[in-house]
């Protein structure tokens, strides 16, 4: 592994992640200017400043590990395929952020040989943090962006663990961007009896915490949207696969670091 431990990496990233969260909240409080990228998705000053903060921290901690970050990639600055790399979404859920909702997150994932091995997600407006702390281990914590925490030891954490799905009581978390009768039918075919619309990678984390059962996504996402969440959910006992059950593969630079449809699950029904 290209890092000493999950704990060491989490400790090194925590101050930068909290700083990025403060920046997001402060910028939104004073008023946003929203630009549009080439793919018609929104981008704000907060996206760019948060990315600068996070990339600088990663470069200090692991200067030899390449970084694929969303805004740099959008500007054509993503590195070529490597066996090991960081995937960073500095502000996942920009539309919710702009709309004044609170599901947006900071996502930092580390992938090695095509698989996510470390994940750190922070939802600053919710004050919720989720991070892998070892192989098969992930924790959550409540921490405000204004906290002076400098390491994980400053936080009160609880271990994340998925719940066993109960037939007839399966809750799906779905993207707010995916709606309509066809989408509802596909969700029902997965056995879901209720659904909650949300944005960002926080959906992976809520399944990891045992708050819901499945998160299906039909359509294209980017690797920086999913790597951190997949690492956290898998460490908590869940799975993330392509719809056909095959593994999600990361580091696909030739495809613009894009994923196809997938499904994230907690513990399956007995």
Distance CA 52, CA 245 (A): 36
More confidently predicted of 176 and 197: 197
Angle between helices 6-30 and 45-61 (to 10 degrees): 160
Owner of token pair 């990339």? 55
Every domain range in the chain assigned CATH 3.40.190.80:
171-265
Distance CA 81, CA 252 (A): 6
Q: What percent of the chain has pLDDT over 90?
A: 74
Write out pLDDT tens, residues 196-247: 999 899 999 999 999 999 999 998 999 999 999 999 999 999 999 999 999 9
More confidently predicted of 77 and 161: 161
According to CATH, the topology of domain 171-265 is D-Maltodextrin-Binding Protein; domain 2 (3.40.190)
Owner of token pair 């704000």? 44
Distance CA 206, CA 173 (A): 9
Kindly state which CATH superfamily the domain 6-159 is placed in: Fructose-1,6-Bisphosphatase, subunit A, domain 1 (3.30.540.10)
Write out pLDDT tens, residues 89-130: 999 999 899 999 999 999 999 999 999 999 999 999 999 999
* Among 12-16, 99-103, 174-178, the least confident range: 174-178
Every domain range in the chain assigned CATH 3.30.540.10:
6-159
More confidently predicted of 76 and 6: 6
Distance CA 155, CA 153 (A): 5
């Amino acid at each position: 592994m290209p890092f000493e431990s999950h704990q060491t990496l989490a400790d090194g990233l925590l101050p930068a992640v909290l700083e990025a969260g403060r920046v997001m909240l402060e910028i939104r409080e004073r008023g946003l200017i929203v630009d549009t990228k080439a793919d018609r998705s929104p981008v704000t000053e907060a996206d760019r400043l948060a990315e600068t903060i996070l990339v600088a921290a990663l470069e200090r901690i692991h200067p030899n590990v390449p970084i694929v970050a969303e805004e740099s990639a959008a500007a054509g600055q993503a590195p070529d395929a490597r066996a090991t790399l960081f995937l960073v979404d500095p502000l996942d859920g920009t539309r919710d952020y702009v709309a004044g909702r609170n599901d947006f997150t900071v996502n930092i994932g580390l992938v090695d040989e095509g698989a996510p091995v470390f994940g750190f997600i922070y939802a600053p407006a919710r004050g919720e943090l989720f991070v892998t702390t070892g192989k098969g281990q992930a924790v959550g914590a409540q921490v405000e962006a204004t906290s002076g925490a400098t390491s994980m030891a400053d936080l009160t954490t609880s271990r994340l663990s998925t719940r066993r799905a109960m037939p007839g009581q399966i809750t799906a978390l779905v993207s707010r961007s995916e709606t309509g009768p066809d989408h509802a039918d596909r969700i029902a075919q997965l056995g879901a009896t209720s659904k909650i619309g949300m944005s960002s990678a926080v959906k992976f984390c809520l399944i990891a915490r045992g708050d819901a059962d499945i998160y299906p996504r039909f359509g294209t996402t980017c690797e920086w949207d999913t790597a951190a969440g997949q690492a956290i959910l898998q460490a908590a006992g869940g799975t993330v696969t392509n719809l056909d059950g095959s593994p999600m593969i990361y580091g696909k630079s030739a495809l613009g670091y894009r994923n196809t449809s997938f499904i994230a699950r907690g513990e399956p029904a007995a």
